[in-house]
Structure 1
């Protein structure tokens, strides 16, 4: 039984008049009669006793009315609550991202979000590598799509949205550039260019001090911006780990991207301040999760520099 058919039955059970029911629901009396006859055939019993003067519920009809009424009211209440929540999502929401491929996901999700919540303006900005959490804490960002893990008491971690294999950015003339892959042990053979300002545990994960076998990894220059990392690598000052997808977005003639054969993938997810867990933020998080799932389900296009 479809929702509209339930609505017609319950309205007739209340009005006990085909004409008034039709007028109330903006349908014809013939449509009301057609629906009731269909329901009676499906159930195998009369729901209403009809005479030229009145309409009355049968015992079976009363039982159906009582059973359907509570469920129908719950559906109506749920729809009303959803509509109210949707109307509350107004104003603006500010979303940051740490890498171009994260920005692509945020932009796609923002398009869907705007279509659902046209009264809410979405502002999208890239974030600085050296202070990824500062904008969340000072209120200039509501959400941030970034590399995980983040372990901060005042920051909420959303689910992992996607992961990317790791690669090593090396100077174009470096011996590593001629290889098909590198290993984590190879990090002991070249200075590592790092990014400053991030939490120490995040730096240890992405820019370790030792290889898995305990060999020290020499340190090269530190910087605060991704383009400076690439410039330093291109100038031969060292190497730097990153996502393998960076090769499709940041191609330069003086650098090369060599995949790791043994490094764990980089995981990406949304962060937001614990004090900022609002319906608006939750709605955007839900939209990003949905969009990421849709993108995983579609074939990946051939990304070329």
Structure 2
């Protein structure tokens, strides 16, 4: 059997639909019919029963499928493995993430990446908010999905994968919890949790500012090291914290309220990696991540699909 015959036969056996088979194989529907007819003449028996409504494998067709499919899939895997090795994609890739929904995105992309590049091994780990670029620079991870802004000369910022409305997490008993939205100016009337550790000043100012846009001081509360500390501190009434709106789905619990900002820019998450250690594996993961996000409607819609 020729390669195209095998592909068309196995695809039709899976789809049981000539139109979908033609679309997946990248040929016309007539070519699918011609190829199947040629194959059945060579074998001397019908492989499919078909009429205007249904397509079904015959007993001989099912026997043929069971016989050739495992071998064909193995050939595909070995070709993919050899291709990946030739491109330098095989080996270990360590990917970091900063929060629950970025972790979900990374894990879904990683599953596809592993299937597409059988010679790779992926390790996924969370990066703490108090040292967002430390693991990258130490070589503990190869790339990560993290919050913008990033202004680091030694790091390359890749595509934005997630863009979410900014919200404020606060105790449900707080007076602003009953509002439909809040303003950046409202932060002057609250205590804002901040971040400590090896965090760039411009990042802190963007996510936990000391002043409102008109210059009013914002009371500063306890500094956090781990993201999980935010939930406990807010529940205890120690302060409030800007978060992604997706946090309501991932971190929502009794006693917490998530109120959207009406005048704050979105929180965006992008891939980032050390410029000096960019590899074929990193580039392949970045490209697949971009394709995955685009297939799910783009950065503003992807969280709703994962």
What residue is the counterpart of 1:219 in the other structure? 220
Do the aligned partners of 2:185 and 2:212 also contact (CA within 8 Å) in 1?
yes
Distance 1:278 1:300, change over 3 A: closer
What residue is the counterpart of 2:110 in the other structure? 110
Consecutive unaligned residues in structure 1, runs of 5 or more: 5-78
What residue is the counterpart of 1:236 in the other structure? 237
- Considering only aligned residues, what root-mean-square deviation do their CA atoms show, in Å? 2.3
Tell which structure's C-alpha radius of gyration is larger. 1
Distance 2:86 2:256 in 1: 48
User: Are residue 171 (structure 1) and residue 178 (structure 2) matched?
Assistant: no
- Alpha-carbon offset, residue 158 of structure 1: 0.4
Distance 1:296 1:153 in 2: 31
What's the secondary structure of 1:220's corresponding residue?
Answer: strand
Do the aligned partners of 2:90 and 2:117 also contact (CA within 8 Å) in 1?
yes
Distance 2:273 2:84 in 1: 24
- Alpha-carbon offset, residue 263 of structure 1: 0.6
Distance 1:281 1:166 in 2: 29
- Alpha-carbon offset, residue 299 of structure 1: 7.5
What residue is the counterpart of 1:144 in the other structure? 144
Deviation beyond 6 Å, 4+ runs, structure 1: 297-303
Distance 1:220 1:291 in 2: 38
Distance 2:303 2:280 in 1: 34
Deviation track 1:92-126 (CA, whole Å, cap 9, x = no partner) reads 10000011111111111111111111110011111
TM-score (norm 1): 0.70
How many residues get paired? 225
What residue is the counterpart of 2:37 in the other structure? none
Distance 1:282 1:146 in 2: 17
Distance 1:178 1:160, change over 3 A: same
What's the secondary structure of 1:161's corresponding residue?
Answer: strand
What residue is the counterpart of 2:290 in the other structure? 289
Distance 1:204 1:184 in 2: 13
- Alpha-carbon offset, residue 149 of structure 1: 1.6
What's the secondary structure of 1:296's corresponding residue?
Answer: coil
- Alpha-carbon offset, residue 83 of structure 1: 3.1
Consecutive unaligned residues in structure 2, runs of 5 or more: 5-78
